[in-house]
Structures are given as structure tokens and as C-alpha cells.
Amino acid sequence: MTTAILALLLSAGLPAGTVLSLDAAQSEIRYTVVHKLHQVEGRSREVEGKAVVREESLVISQVRVPVASFRSGDANRDSHMLEAVQAGSFPFATWKGVIRLGPGGEVPAAPAVMDGEVEFHGVKRSLSVPIRITAQPDGSLRVQATFDVSLDAHGVDRPSLLFVKVNDACSVAVDIVLRR
């Protein structure tokens, strides 16, 4: 009953001042890089994040993840990735974004575009990301997004195997849960 009420409240809208915190236990960020011989997928659950509803239904959000927390199931590749992104100097990848809710602060039913920037390898790049927000029965919000990050644009010397570098596009999939 309580969860149903919470879900109803969320669908009704998020008033200004609402603070949503990321539930790390239910959140995950994945990256996928493609090599001619491989496709490598790394996952991290050590995600931090927060979203705040401001006036005029404007939501600002920030998500941060330590690059050393990603695991691909292959420690050698993971260490290669850390070396490529210079994890000692640039330990975090960060996303900051802004999205506008409906007039009454309603969560958009269809995928909406969040404008923001990615800071990765010490380089900030503007990015517009289509995201899908789903109100969960327990009152939380599930946010999903998939986008590509250019390794070259972020100054990453792309790792190689057998003298062939991985593709420039690093696909990032975000699947996070936000709670009040």
C-alpha cells in the first residue's frame, strides 16, 4: 500500500527541493569497448549520485564513479584500462546533467534528453543523453541511459592488442536507482 502511494506521488510530480540519492546497491554503470578481436565490458557498482529538483521543475544531477572500480572479469585488461585512462591522475569519471520535468514536476513518461557534460580523463565534454525514467513500485526512480563517449575526444591513448587499437567509441550504459 505504502509503495503504491509512493509510486502515485512520484507520478504526480517531484516538487522543488526534492533530493534524490543514488542507491548504489541497485545501480550499475557499464562500459563497452570494441576491438577487432574482442568486445570488452566492464561494470561498476561503486557509483555515487544525487539529483535535486529546483524551481520550474529543473532537475540537476551528478553521478560519479571511480574508474578503478570497473571489473571486466579479466584483471589484465582492467589494469590495461587503468593505464590508458591514467587512473592515478584522473581517478573518477563524472557526469553532470540538467533535465526539465513536466509542468507540475511530472516525471517524463517517454525518454527525455538530459543536457550535461562528462568529465573523464580530466577532460570535460558536453553531451546530450537520452534517458528513460521509470517510477518503481517502491517509490524509487530508475534511470537508464546509453550513450557513447569518444576516447580520442577525452585525450585517452586508446589501448591496443596486436598493434590494433580499440574503437574510439566507448559505449556507456547507466542503470541507476534514485531514492528520496
Partner 1 sequence: MTPSTPVPLVALCAILTALSPSRARAEVRLLDQDLVFHAQATGGTPQAEPPAQKPPALDFDLLGPSKAAPAVDDSTLRLRRTLLDWHQGIGLGMFALQLATTVVGQLNYDDKFGGANTNKYATTHSVLAYATFATFVTAGVLALVTPAAPQRRDGFDRIDLHKIAMFTAAGAMAGQIVLGIWTSGREGNQNQQSVAMAHLVLGYVTLAAVGTGVGALVF
Which are the contacts of 75, defined by CB distance < 8 A and separation ≥ 6?
Answer: none
Footprint of partner 1 on residues 89-148 (CB under 8 A)?
A: 89, 91-92, 96-98, 115-117
- List 2, 17, 88, 137, residue binding partner 1 (CB under 8 A): 88
Most distant pair of Cα atoms in the chain: their distance: 59
Footprint of partner 1 on residues 11-50 (CB under 8 A)?
A: 37-38, 48-50
User: What cell does 145 get?
Assistant: 541511459
**Residue 71's closest CA among 93, 44, 96, 45?**
44
User: What cell does 113 get?
Assistant: 534528453
CA distances from 144 to 9, 31, 114 (A): 21, 14, 11
- List 71, 142, 158, 179, residue binding partner 1 (CB under 8 A): 71
Asked if residue 83 binds partner 1 (CB under 8 A), the reply is: yes
* Site for partner 1, rule CB under 8 A: 37-38, 48-52, 58, 60-62, 64, 66-69, 71, 73-76, 78-80, 82-83, 86-89, 91-92, 96-98, 115-117, 161-162
